[in-house]
Amino acid sequence: MQGPRALDDVDRTIVACLRADARRSFADLGREVALSASAVKRRVDRLEASGVITGYGARVDPRRTSEDLEALVEVYCTDRTAPTDVRSAVAAIDEVVSAFTVSGEPDAVVRVRVRGIAHLESVVERLRRAPTIARTRTLIVLSTLVDRPQ
């Protein structure tokens, strides 16, 4: 992986377009930024090699899957718990969508997606079994107002 490099306006436009729709063709992107498809491909390859673009994926509507309940779990750790310890505790749980260390009272906030309340309870119990986690506080998401792709 190469070191960070400054993005120009064309790179930023390409990244924005791919965030909105990663399936766009290089020719379509080229029309957007006034470059040939091959020039766009070279730029995308460079963005991938430099680590600006880290991957591609599908955005899935959780209401159309069996995992339609989302919750935020505040995690309060035991003394002297390092972020890597928190990562180890939450990374093994498949229902964890994302996890963040945060400022403020909780040490971390974990976003989980589950099938229902009973499933949520089992996920929270698995979190609580981690030796570095002292307690949790769970907030159930009622609706998502904004959820932008990365």
| DSSP-derived secondary structure for 52-115 | SS--------GGGSS--EEEEEEEEEPTT--HHHHHHHHHT-TTEEEEEE-SSSSSEEEEEEES
Q: Which domains does the chain have, with CATH numbers?
A: 1-59 (1.10.10.10), 62-140 (3.30.70.920)
For residue range 11-49, list pLDDT tens digits in order. Answer: 999 998 998 889 999 999 999 999 999 999 999 999 999
- Structural contact between residues 118 and 87, judged by C-beta atoms closer than 8 angstroms: no
pTM for the whole structure: 0.68
**pLDDT tens per residue across span 76-135:** 998 888 888 889 889 999 999 999 999 999 999 999 999 999 999 999 999 999 999 999
